Amino acid sequence: MERVETQLNVTAGRNQFPPGPKGLPFVGMAMTLRRDPLEGIRQIAREYGDIVRFHVMMQERILLNHPDLINQVLVIQHNKFHKSELTRRITVRMLGQGLLISEGEFWRRQRRLAQPAFHRGRINDYASTMLEIAKARVGGWRDGEARNIGQEMTSLTLDIAVRTLFGTTLPEEAHGVGQAMTFLMRYSLRRQRLPFRIPENWPTPSNRRANRELEFIGSLVYRIISERQAEGNSGRHNDLLALLMGAMDEDGTQMTPQQLHDEAMTLFLAGHETTAQMLSWTWFALSQNPQVEARLHEELDGVLGRRPIAAADFPRLPYLQAVMNEVLRLYPPAYIMAREVIEPCEVGGYTMRPKATIIFSQWVMQRDPRFFDDPEAFRPERWLDGLIDRLPAGAYFPFGDGPRRCIGQGFALLEAAIVIATLARRFRFRLASGAEIIPEPLVTLRPRHGIPMTLHARS
């Protein structure tokens, strides 16, 4: 099989790379980055090559734009890097020492403890919950109705996250949790983008609200944990939290309430927000590509007939999988990743010094014409002839790669497949007239004003 490969392309930036002069080599780029981060970062990649250093907000970043370099960081030399200070700063107040940001031996232990909860057999147990929630949701929808699909997908995946994680519906509070999480994400990112960081303990209105929201979610999660502990190991619960609470390390130790809280918050945030965005972008992409939508409907109708989708159908739905791959390529919910160098190492022929921040972007790489023909087009067909095996590692990484690859990948793909199959059977979704859909790079890649759509019942 022929592999897609290119030579490393280093143009400008070579001379300015470490140990080059300090300063602001690409000020113009930094301005574009602030105005339009998604376009800005692609422009840097286009104009300056596969490895480039630039400054944004007086902070140095090294951007990698080649799969081999990304693979060096995520896989081959992964132990020379930590999650970046930037990632930690944005999420630490929400997620504490959860899997997403913990490091070293502590992370390894937590990952070991959490991993069994994500084995295929376990995940498939959640399929019926996912299906039930998706069916209930679509059951309340009517032909001709207008709905903001972005909000619908957020609330749908939130319901699924609450039920699979905590096994309970908590309707009122779950709604509040969604709003709190959205606020906290915007708040963290806004703080990050301010030229001067206002201390978190200053009583500004947004700091006060952030504290209230954190307190609200934290106390809810602790309450559920302590209720469970009071019940003892009753075996009554079959959800992710029960698995985390029952997980025992080789030395017989279990997670403390604080660790359970941090992991539950992490799974909650990482689990529902990313999948919601994947689903929102799916409906948008299908509405813009009716021939893809028709082929998807044909496959779903042919394989499933009138019965609901089950986890075992997955292998018989290659076009659905191709649609999901293509959505994750063009609209990756995790659109950028960052690492901090902790040990001197060499990447792309350059010495990386400790504390340097390295970034690379799914948004940029997965639209790179060297690896994807007609990269801006939504063409699920490209995945049907084994492209995934021909691509070099590091060219397509919607779930990251290496030891820190997303623990919830199987869970997310199962959930997305179930939701897409269940909703697509009942409706076509069409963009409301005049709606302009703008990708907004927050913690995840979101449609800025959601996706206003009209529902058309399928006969």
Q: Are 311 and 368 in contact (CB under 8 A)?
A: no
Nearer to ligand HEM, 111 or 370 (CB): 111
The DSSP secondary structure of 45-113, one letter per residue, reads HHHHBSEEEEEETTEEEEEE-SHHHHHIIIIITGGGEEE-HHHHHHHHHHHTT-TTT--HHHHHHHHHH
How far apart are the C-alpha atoms of 449 and 439, rounded to whole Å? 9
Of 363 and 371, nearer to ligand HEM (C-beta) is 363
CA distance 399 to 265: 19
CA atoms of 99 and 129, how far apart (whole Å): 24
Q: Give the residue closest to ligand HEM by C-beta.
A: 408
Which neighbouring-strand residues pair with 53?
62
Query: Which residue, 337 or 420, has its beta carbon nearer to ligand HEM?
Result: 337
Q: Where are the beta strands (DSSP E) in 301-349?
A: 337-341, 345-347
Bond into 19 cis (ω within 30): yes
Scored b (16 or more CB within 10 A) or e, 218-250 reads eebbeebbeebeeeeeeeebebbbbbbbebeee
Are the C-beta atoms of 455 and 143 separated by less than 8 Å?
yes
Q: Provide the minimum distance between the beta carbon of 44 and ligand HEM in the complex, in angstroms, as a whole number.
A: 20
Nearest Cα to Cα of residue 403 among 151, 164, 77, 116: 77
Task: State the nearest-atom distance from the C-beta of 398 to ligand HEM, in Å.
Answer: 5
Shortest approach of ligand HEM to residue 152 CB, angstroms? 17
- 100 vs 210 by CB, closer to ligand HEM: 100
CB of 75 vs ligand HEM, minimal distance in Å:
11
Alpha helix (H) residue ranges in 312-439 = 318-330, 362-365, 387-390, 409-426
Q: How far apart are CA 452 and CA 442, in angstroms?
A: 19
Of 125 and 298, which has the nearer Cβ to ligand HEM?
Answer: 125
Handedness of CA 205, 154, 189, 345 (dihedral sign): positive
Q: Which is nearer to ligand HEM, 20 or 116 (CB)?
A: 116
* Cβ pair 373, 346 in contact under 8 A: no
Please report how close the Cβ of residue 226 comes to ligand HEM at its closest, in angstroms.
22
In the complex with ligand HEM, which residue's Cβ is closer, 247 or 334?
334
Looking at beta carbons only, is 275 or 325 nearer to ligand HEM? Answer: 275
Amino acid at site 90: I
Please, which residue, 137 or 339, has the CB nearer to ligand HEM? 339
CB of 272 to ligand HEM, least distance (A): 7
CB of 87 to ligand HEM, least distance (A): 7
Question: From the CB of 47, what's the least distance to ligand HEM, in Å?
Answer: 26
Nearest to ligand HEM of 86, 435 (CB atom)? 86
CB of 317 to ligand HEM, least distance (A): 17
**Closest approach of ligand HEM to the CB of residue 249, in Å:** 16
Buried b (16+ CB within 10 A) or exposed e, 59-79: eebbbbbbbbbbbbbbbebbe
Strands 59-64 and 357-360: parallel
Strands 350-352 and 146-148: unpaired
Residues that bind ligand HEM (CB under 6 A): 83, 99-100, 111, 266-267, 270-271, 274-275, 278, 333-334, 337, 398-400, 404, 406-408, 411-412
For residue 284, give both structure tokens.
């948008």
> Measured from the CB of residue 417, what is the shortest distance to ligand HEM in angstroms?
11
Structure tokens at 308: 């609901």
Q: What are phi and psi of 441, to 5 degrees?
A: -80, 85
SS3 call for 325: helix
Report, in Å, the least distance between residue 305 CB and ligand HEM. 28
Quick one: 30 or 323, whose CB is closer to ligand HEM?
323
Nearest residue (CB) to ligand HEM, 279 versus 455: 279
